A and B are shown apart, each in its own frame.
Chain A
Amino acid sequence: MKLRERLDATDGRPSVTRASRREVLAAALGLAAAGALGDAKAAGEDADSPPNVPPWQKQPGASVMSPPYGQPSPFEAGVIRRARNNSPPSPTPQASISLTPLQDLHGIITPNGLHYERHHAGVPAIDPSQHRLLIHGLVDRPMIFTMGEIMRFPSVSRLHFLECSGNTQNWGKPSPTQTVQDTHGLLSCCEWTGVPLKTVLEAVGVKTSARWMLAEGADAAAMTRSIPIEKAFDDALLAYAQNGERLRPEQGYPLRLLLPGFEGNTSVKWLRRLKFGEAPWQTREETSKYSWLMPDGSARQFNFVMEAKSVITSPSGGQRLDGPGFHEISGLAWSGRGRIARVEVSADGGNTWSDAALQEPVLPKCLTRFRSPWRWQGEAAQLASRCTDETGVVQPSHETLLQQRDARSYYHYNAIQNWRVGVDGAVTHAG
């Protein structure tokens, strides 16, 4: 696909979708106007391709450290987080979401600047020298830790996905123009570094009567969730770094809780306090929100685990196949219960399935990249993926999920995603 088509297909920002290749290049070179590349224009779009030698080979390029913190190529300016298309804008941009551009990512790691966001009262600007973690309640010794002290504990690094509880709102009729960024973009995956929470809890001595842990953020919402004690002593992490650098402010700098496999909201950012008690606190985020309204009228709380789920990211909604022939089907699969064991792919709307190849590493509670070769003959097609995790959970169809609960439950939609491919190669969201 040519650059301009690719930008058109993948980017939601009009200012960039309309930018021509020459304009982007001119911006990259710091030229005042695209006209400075007049020769290239006269010679046409392929002026810099063989047999011609392009200008970037005829003079030295940019210096080292330009800039000191490296940035993506200007040609990738369209690969950004954004709000959901076809959704009303949030009245409070501080209490809102931004979506990861899954269609533009490769492998399983989400670059830090593209990790999805969900904040309840904005991103606090925290001075790490002033930040403290207080641990109290049913403990032998209530304690306060500085960031320096937390970072002196033995540390670990682990790759885990985070998925917002409300990711994928496919309960109703699909909006055909939605992309995978719209449908699945509240999903990211990083290498997280920090201290196993268990290590610190052993230092404070949690009493045996404690059954639940309250985690509280230092943001303006003082966001709180009650966490089962089993999770706190299992694989919970006090994370202070992601993908090799300290947490980004929007990911909880300087310290966040990370609960692998649990709904994203429970991995409390800007973590300032852990309190131990005998019962859940029934906070607003586990009663009014993040509870499932079930078909029988009951409200089901504490639905922590993000179940087996997968999605094809290429080809996906908003893209256009540039002609019949070979196209690799590629996507992501994950489960909050462990490793992905199998991913199947269908090109005929689920009538026939074939196994996709799983890219190593296949890690527990982590995104797994799958790939499957496909030769498109130019016919109408419907692409779908279906995963199975190592505990045997199979990703359900839309119809199967709706037999259990419906749009009123809102959260944890994990059914199979379908992408329709038209005879013109256009890919649209088919629910």
Chain B
Amino acid sequence: MPAKFWIAALCTLAGPAFAGDDYGLGRTASPQEIAGWNIDIAPDGTGLPAGRGSVARGAEIFAGKCAACHGAHGEGKPMDTLAGGAGTINTVKPLKTVGSYWPYATTLFDFVRRAMPFDAPQSLTNDEVYAVSAYVLWLNQIVPKDADLDARTLPQIVMPNRANFVSGYPSRPSQP
């Protein structure tokens, strides 16, 4: 049989059979499977779970699970400083903390839940994450001492440095 025939036949097979979604690989993810991993929080609060936490409860948890690395009052050492630094960002010696630098309070909940404590990530309950977030925000004088945070109140917090964040995307080459 002429080679041309086979080439034509193969092209016919290869075209539609392997286009787009026709590989037949993978399976539909169930809502339960997605829920177990769907832990991200958007700046508008999308993804925040049920639950609540107070500054007072957060202080207890922080003392036991966070202070060893971040200092009793978030002053840092050996790890990141969490509190203070207000007014230092636009100086020669900026002190970047949750209060002085971070643009969104939702990031605090998201990061603590996924990555903290360093030696036991994803071990805190949602109530505990709300409480620790409240405590760190109180250390930065962003929420009052009687604050009680939940999915409704956390995204309403306006972080002091929020307006100074700008996007570099899409970027243009910088010419000397």
Contact = CB atoms under 8 A, between A and B. Distances in A.
A283 B107 contact: yes
A143 B114 CA distance: 22
Contact of B168 (A95, A135, A150, A302): A302
Contact of A288 (B37, B39, B79, B101): B101
Contact of B29 (A136, A228, A297, A305): A136
B173 A307 contact: yes
A273 B43 contact: no
A221 interface: yes
Interface in B87-111: 89-90, 92, 94, 96, 98, 101-104, 106-107, 110-111
Nearest to B79: A91
Nearest to A284: B111
Contacts of A288: 96, 98, 101-102, 107, 111
Contacts of A291: 165
A119 to B, nearest CB: 12
B166 interface: yes
B168 A301 contact: yes
Interface residues of B, number: 53
Contacts of A404: 174
A364 B66 CA distance: 45
A207 interface: no
Interface string A296-315: 11111111110100000000
B118 A121 contact: yes
Interface residues of A, number: 70
Contact of B96 (A136, A153, A293, A392): A293
A134 interface: yes
A297 B171 contact: no
Contacts of A273: 37
Interface stretch (A96-104, A174-182, A274-282): A274-282
A64 B55 CA distance: 65
B89 A293 contact: yes
B107 to A, nearest CB: 5
A283 B23 contact: no
A354 interface: no
B132 to A, nearest CB: 14
Contacts of A145: 25-26
B27 A144 contact: yes
B21 interface: yes
A368 to B, nearest CB: 18
A220 interface: yes
A104 B132 CA distance: 47
8 contacts: A144-B27, A154-B18, A222-B114, A298-B164, A299-B164, A300-B168, A301-B165, A337-B173
